[in-house]
Each structure stands twice: as C-alpha cells, then as structure tokens.
Amino acid sequence: MLKQQNNLIMNYVFYPNSIAVIGASSDAEKERMTGWVGRLQQFGYKGKIYPLNPKVKEILGLKTYPSIGEIPGSVDYAIMVIPRRFVSRSLEECIAKGVKVVHIYTAGFSEMGTDVGIAMQKELERIIETGTTHVIGPNCMGVYCPSGGLSFDVRFPKESGSIAFISQTGVGGRRLIQLATGRGLRFSKAISYGNAIDLNVIDFLDYAVSDPETSLILLYLEGLTDGRSFFNILRGCKKPVVLLKAGLSEGGSGAVASHTASLAGSRQVWEALFKQTGAVSVDTLEEAVEQMVALQTLPPITGNRVGLVGRGGGIGVVAVDMCEREGLKVPPLAQETRDRLATIIATDSGSTIRNPVEIGLGATGVSEHYVDGLQIIASDPHIDFLITFLNPEDYIHYGVKGWVEDISKALIRAKKAVSKPFVVVFLAGQSGEVFETILRIQRTCTREGIACFSTMDTAIKALGKTITYYQNRND
Amino acid sequence: MTSKEIIQKARAEGRALLTETESKALIRESGIAVTDTQLAHSMSEAVSISNRMGYPVVLKIASKDITHKSDAGGVKVGLMTPEEVEKAYEEIFTSVAQKYPAAALQGVTVQKAARPGVEVIIGMFTDAQFGPVLMFGLGGIWVEILKDVSFRIVPLTKKDVASLIREIKGFPLLEGRRGQKASDIGSLEGALLNLSAFVEKYPEIKEIDLNPIFVYEEGYVAVDARIILSGA
C-alpha cells in the first residue's frame, strides 16, 4: 500500500469523525456496562455515534438506526459486534454505504480451525475485494487511541503517551496495556488486529514508524505473511522497536538438499532479523513492560560500565555476576572517587567503597549523603551509568515513617543533580505493604522519567538490551 | 552459456540440482572466485585437461543423478601424474557403477587442486517468510560436527557481513592465532556481498552451498559449489 494512502486509512482507524456500532444492545444497562456505545461515551469520544439496532428507537440517549444504509451522513468507522452468521451480510452493507473502516470484533473464523470458520473467513476476504472499505479483524479488540477518544477498555488511561502497541492478540494485548499503564507508561495508540484479513501488522507498523505521536513501538506477533516488507520497514525504522515474537519453536522445514538449509531454522532467521534491524527481542509480556520502561526513561546509553550503589554486600556481589552475564562491566572506581566517597561514608562501620558501593538511606529516612554519593560516583570517568538498589522492607522493619515520600523526593532531586543516567531498583519483598508501596513509587518515578524496577534481574536485563540497541543504532 | 541459459536448460531437463560445472559457472558470474573446473568425457580427455592445468589435480564424477559424490566413491584428490589420473578415472567409474548402477554418467570433472587454507562455508537458503537468507561458518567437515554457523537475511549490508563473519565461535581461526597468518577477511566480506546481490538477481535459486571455501592470507577460492533451483 502507498504510504500516503495508508496514512489516510489509518487516520480513519484512529481518528474517525463518526462511528456506527453494529449490534448495540437494546438493554441500555448492558450496553453502558459492556457495549461499545457505553465504552465510547465513557471514554469521551467526541465524534458522532450511530447505534444500530432494529428493535429500539434510542440507546443511551442516541437515536438508533435499523441498518447502516439508513444513517444520513457518512460513516468513517463501524464496529461489528453481531453473531458470526450476520457478519458477511453486514460487511456488504458497509461497503455499499461507503464506510471507510470496519472493525469486526466478532470471533469464530479461521482461528477456530474449523471448516465452517475458515470458509466464512474466505467469504469475508472475497467481499472486501468488491469495495474500498478496509477491515480490522475479525476476532480482535480493535483500537485504543486516547487522543482519538477510542478505547476497547474504559479502564485504560485517557492520557496519551508515546508508545504504539501493535498486537495480534486481544486478551494478551489488554493485559500488556494494564501492566504497562500500571507502571506509569502511556500509549499513543494500540491496536489488536486479530486474524488480519485486510489491514495487518505491516500497515500498522508502517504508520507507527512515521506517526509523530509515537516514539517507541511494541509488537506482539505470532504469524507473518509478508516477511520481506516487515524486514524492510523495521530496518528503516529510527524509533526503538520492542518485538515479542511468539511461536519461535522449530518447525519442520521439509526436505532439503543443501547443508545450509539443513542447518537453518526459523529461530536462526528471526535472530538474524533482530541483529540486522536492531529490534529488541523480548520473550514475555512482562519483559516487554520492563524493556519499555528502560527505553522510555533512559537517555541513549552506549557505554556499558556500571556503578552499583546500595546497601547489602551480597546483593551487590550477585548483581555484579548478573551484570557480567548481560554484557555490562562493573569496574573499580578511580582513587579520587573513593577518596571523596570516604568523606561521606562511614567506612569504620563496615561499608565498602569499592564498586559496588554501600550507601543506604539512613535508618531515620533518606540519608543526606545518598544523593551526594550518587553524584560523586557519577563523576567517575570509569563509570557510564549507575544502578542503585533500595530495600523498602528494611524501612518498614525499622518503623520509619514517610520514607516513600522521602525516597521519591530524593530520587527526583537526584534525577536533576546526577550527571549520568541512573536506574533504581526497589527490591520487592513479601510484605503486602512493601508491594503496594513499590507499585506506587514505581508509577511516580516512571512518570518523572526515572527508570525503576523491582528486581535486579529485570533491571539488568532490560539495561543490557537497551545499551545493545543504542550501540547498534550508532554503528 | 550464460547463467540464465544454464538455469533454463536445467529447468527444461526437469532438474532442480545443477551440476558442479554449472553451479561454478553461475557462482563465477556473481564475482566469487571458484576453482577452474572442466568436464572430461573420457579418460584421455581427463589426462589432457590435467596436463594443461598442471598437477596435482582432483577428479570428481560428473552425474546429474548423484548428489553426494564422495559417498559414491566419486572423488579422487591429490593426483600427481597422468598415470594416477588414469587409475583414478577407472576407480571412480567402477565404484559409482556399483553404488549407482542406474545413474547416467557424463564423465568426470577435472580441477586443479587448490592450495589448502582455512575452510569456511558460505550458503544460501530460501526462508518461507523472509526469502533468501545467507549463512556463513566454519566449512569442510566442521560444518556438520560443530554447526558453527550464523545467518543474515538478504540483502546484506557491509555492517551485516562484518558482524556475520565475526560472530561465529571459530572466528579466531580466521584472525590467525599461534603463529598462523591472518586470513583475508575483507575478501570474504566481498564474497558475501556479491552473493547477496547475486541471489536477489536470481530468485529461481532456492539453495546454495559453497563448501569448502579455502581462505588465504590474500584472497580465497570456492572449491565446491552446489546450487538447487526452486521447484516451479
């Protein structure tokens, strides 16, 4: 598809001026709670909404229409929530009406693997060819676009962000958005595109690459039909792309006659794609969230030398091993740095000033030296960035009051004062209070642009991949 | 014959597998250095080609029906004299006749034995989703034992070929260690870029093995080549 033409279609997908809901419920309460009309109203959609229902005159204060053809004005977008057997007929009516984009929410097609489902999907594919209407789906959640007032879930934030999420999966996609927004991340757009009989990952990716609202792209992908276009778009993309490719297991590649083909598998080819395009590979939805936190909050880091700061020798030593495993280095600090640290750290009480450096928050709240310490280590010429870890369970144990506020303030101050990027790890504990507190601090910190995580493992892994991404991009 | 003509001829004969001579002709067109290989239809022709090329030479059975020439006893290396060429010619035909009685035999190919170097493999296969993909790794017998290979999707950039060669575990062998001279890595990078452009030009090609390739301090040469065309 031509880029210009694709952008035009995507404009109808994310910013339609009018939406028909085909299959709005005549039960107002039901429609308000779980229907699309209710969803659009509650999410603050500003365009015209046309509920389609032949039985009632009005739904949630809106005039209804018995069929799409009887809507007086033009219709940019239609959402189909009707039983499977009515879908093909309704699609024909949408084409006749000149609807720009139809989102088929209804499931029960090829994904079922049944003859009937496959045949019905084929029929839809045939119908699309007869007009200019474009289709999202079937079997998908559709669009979440805060700036367009659209959401497939009213609980999602109305505030816009800069992540575009393109997802083959619906329920998994919703979970991802919940996880990410819970961490303080925000989306420009999200699309669950399902069986992709028309608009597919290539169209959405192509749009996201040039979308001015988007600075980071997340892809969840199972199958792919046009690998070469996908590869070419990714290779040309200047924005970071996080890619969860599900279903990487080795498929039988059939009979082959060369050594080369006998050694090749789909996993090796995907690995090549990641190396050639710089797309960041993640294995789970949870890892995708951690990776996006790192990419959204950290500046482009290309050096891999870490200064580790936190209280607890063993935690630091384990962290050093993790760093090495992910390709990060934990070098000794310069003598001058150590001399300066010695003035603020009580070495006679057993704290070490090697790397890792032991600086904690005092038992009475935020140590006045904590931010100073971070600054001193950041000024070391052998250090590219810092990882600092804090153990909230300790403060609870000591009964320290107001430590959450103290930490948040100290970190926001540090963000301004410290000359190099830093990452904060709030070590998760088993206490409900700690757990809840960490969620709250993380949300605040992420929104302040501070990279924070709840285990050393996730932090170091996400950092390692972030550095590799920026190194590749600069090569 | 041009590459197009070779491909058309194989298609017309219903063959997907190109002969060694045909494969080398195509590979040579791509700009990759291959050993000079000529087809001899008789024993006396094998001797006269050997005399012209200079010894030592290698004889291989030429048959469109035989994929694995070594297994058939169809390869004789290090032949130093006309007498050894005659003896090898007879032995090849005896062995192949036993193992592949139904195979049609065109004769033998004669090639000048290449000076040994570090053995690498360059290959290509067609992925169902991404199309042509190139492979690089340690070659010769090491391919099957160590599987020390890596892949890149076509088209390859300069950065792709540089990282492809350097990411195999055996890369230190090419850098030269323990008194060994460093191999000509630049020439290998050129070969990979040439092959990437070549397979883009010929979508009819489904798979390629260049194995082994001998890499030297200066340059390299592909000693064997196998090309498989796509089915249609």
3-state SS string for chain A: CCHHHHHHHHHHHHCCCEEEEECCCCCHHHHHHHCHHHHHHHHCCCCEEEEECCCCCEECCEECECCHHHCCCCCCEEEECCCHHHHHHHHHHHHHHCCCEEEECCCCCHHHCCHHHHHHHHHHHHHHCCCCCEEECCCCCEEEEHHHCECCCCCCCCCCCCEEEEECCCHHHHHHHHHHHHCCCCEEEEEECCCCCCCCHHHHHHHHHHCCCCCEEEEEECCCCCHHHHHHHHHHCCCCEEEEECCCCCCCCCCCCCHHHHHCCHHHHHHHHHHHHCCEECCCHHHHHHHHHHHHHCCCCCCCEEEEEECCHHHHHHHHHHHHHCCCECCCCCHHHHHHHHCCCCHHHCCCECCCECCCCCCCCCCHHHHHHHHHHHCCCCCCEEEEEECHHHHHHCCCCCHHHHHHHHHHHHHHHCCCCEEEEECCCCCHHHHHHHHHHHHHHHHCCCEEECCHHHHHHHHHHHHHHHHHHHC
* Interface touch B211/A259, C-beta < 8 Å: yes
* Interface touch A258/B159, C-beta < 8 Å: no
Say if strands A241-245 and A216-221 run parallel, antiparallel, or are unpaired: parallel
Q: Which of A44, A42, A47 is nearest to A31 (CA)?
A: A42
- Is the same domain home to A316 and A461? yes
> Binning pLDDT at 50, 70 and 90, where does residue A463 land?
very high
Helix, strand or coil for residue B232?
coil
* Interface touch B131/A256, C-beta < 8 Å: no
Among the partner-chain residues A261, A276, A475, the one whose CB lies closest to the CB of B153 is A276
Interface check for A227 against chain B (CB to CB < 8 A): the answer is yes
* Interface touch A273/B208, C-beta < 8 Å: no
Note whether A435 and A401 are within 8 A (CB): no
pLDDT mean across residues, chain A: 91
* Interface touch A257/B16, C-beta < 8 Å: yes
User: Rounded mean pLDDT of B58-74?
Assistant: 86
- Is the same domain home to A52 and A88? yes
Higher pLDDT, B120 or A354: B120
* Interface touch B67/A257, C-beta < 8 Å: yes
Q: Is the residue at A150 inside a domain? A: no
- Is the same domain home to A331 and A207? no
> Binning pLDDT at 50, 70 and 90, where does residue A2 land?
confident
Among A83, A105, A139, identify where a domain stops: A139
Among A278, A297, A316, identify where a domain stops: A297
Domain boundaries, chain B: 36-113, 118-229
- DSSP assignment letter at B33: -
The distance of B145 to chain A (nearest Cα, Å) reads: 11
Q: Provide the percentage of residues in chain B whose pLDDT is more than 70.
A: 100
pLDDT (0 to 100) of residue A101: 98
Among the partner-chain residues A227, A257, A260, the one whose CB lies closest to the CB of B130 is A227
Structure tokens at A374: 């971070």
Would you say residue A456 has pLDDT above 90? yes
* Interface touch A264/B127, C-beta < 8 Å: yes
Interface check for A57 against chain B (CB to CB < 8 A): the answer is no
- Is the same domain home to A469 and A326? yes
Residues of the domain holding A326: 306-474
Report A:243-302 residues touching B (Cβ under 8 A): 256-261, 263-264, 266, 268-269, 271-273, 275-276
The distance of A258 to chain B (nearest Cα, Å) reads: 6
Among the partner-chain residues A260, A268, A275, the one whose CB lies closest to the CB of B124 is A260
Interface check for B152 against chain A (CB to CB < 8 A): the answer is yes
Note whether A451 and A465 are within 8 A (CB): no
- Is the same domain home to A449 and A311? yes
Those residues whose C-beta lies under 8 Å from the C-beta of residue A212, and which sit 6 or more positions away, are none
User: Rounded mean pLDDT of A95-114?
Assistant: 95
Burial string for A211-233 (b: 16+ CB within 10 Å, else e) reads bebbbbbbbbbeebeebebbbbb
User: Rounded mean pLDDT of A326-344?
Assistant: 92
Structure tokens at B175: 């850098």
Mutate to test the interface with A, among B207, B208, B227 (most CBs of A within 10 A): B207
- Is the same domain home to A343 and A431? yes
- Is the same domain home to A314 and A286? no
Mutate to test the interface with B, among A260, A271, A273 (most CBs of B within 10 A): A260
* Interface touch B228/A258, C-beta < 8 Å: yes
Tens digits of per-residue pLDDT, B144-169? 788 899 999 999 999 999 999 999 99
pLDDT (0 to 100) of residue A371: 86
Instruction: Give the angle A139-A142-A146 at the CA atoms, nearest 5°.
Output: 165
Say if strands A77-80 and A101-104 run parallel, antiparallel, or are unpaired: parallel
Tens digits of per-residue pLDDT, A351-392? 677 899 888 666 555 566 788 889 999 999 999 999 999 888
Tens digits of per-residue pLDDT, A174-222? 999 999 999 999 999 999 999 999 999 999 999 999 999 999 999 999 8
Tens digits of per-residue pLDDT, B202-227? 999 999 999 999 999 999 999 999 99
pLDDT (0 to 100) of residue A403: 74
- Is the same domain home to A130 and A168? no
Report B:63-102 residues touching A (Cβ under 8 A): 67
User: Rounded mean pLDDT of B49-75?
Assistant: 89
- Is the same domain home to A184 and A202? yes
User: Rounded mean pLDDT of A324-332?
Assistant: 95
Domain containing A249 — which CATH number?
3.40.50.261
Q: Which of A331, A381, A338, A336 is nearest to A359 (CA)?
A: A338
Among A269, A297, A325, identify where a domain stops: A297
Alpha carbon distance A254, A252 (integer Å)? 6
* Interface touch A260/B125, C-beta < 8 Å: yes
Tens digits of per-residue pLDDT, A3-34? 788 999 999 999 999 999 999 999 989 999 99
Alpha carbon distance A124, A198 (integer Å)? 10
CATH entry 3.30.470.20 includes domain B118-229: yes
- Is the same domain home to A201 and A328? no
Domain containing A14 — which CATH number?
3.40.50.720
Q: Which residues of A touch B230 (CB under 8 A)?
A: none
CATH H-level, domain B36-113: superfamily = ATP-grasp fold, A domain (3.30.1490.20)
pLDDT mean across residues, chain B: 92
Alpha carbon distance A180, A190 (integer Å)? 12
Q: Is the residue at A246 inside a domain? A: yes
Report B:104-123 residues touching A (Cβ under 8 A): 121, 123
> Binning pLDDT at 50, 70 and 90, where does residue A256 land?
low
- DSSP assignment letter at B118: E
- Is the same domain home to A336 and A462? yes
pLDDT (0 to 100) of residue A252: 46
Interface check for B163 against chain A (CB to CB < 8 A): the answer is yes
Domain count, chain A: 3
* Interface touch A227/B159, C-beta < 8 Å: no
| Residue B219: exposure state from Cβ atoms within 10 A (0-12, 13-18, ≥19) | middle
Alpha carbon distance B45, B123 (integer Å)? 32
Q: Minimal Cα distance from A231: which residue of B?
A: B130
- Is the same domain home to A110 and A79? yes
Alpha carbon distance A234, A237 (integer Å)? 5
* Interface touch B149/A272, C-beta < 8 Å: no
pLDDT (0 to 100) of residue A267: 87
Alpha carbon distance A106, A112 (integer Å)? 12
Q: Is the residue at A405 inside a domain? A: yes
Interface check for A471 against chain B (CB to CB < 8 A): the answer is no
Query: Residue A406 region, left (φ>0) first, then alpha (ψ -120 to 50), else beta?
Result: alpha
Q: What ipTM did this prediction achieve?
A: 0.89
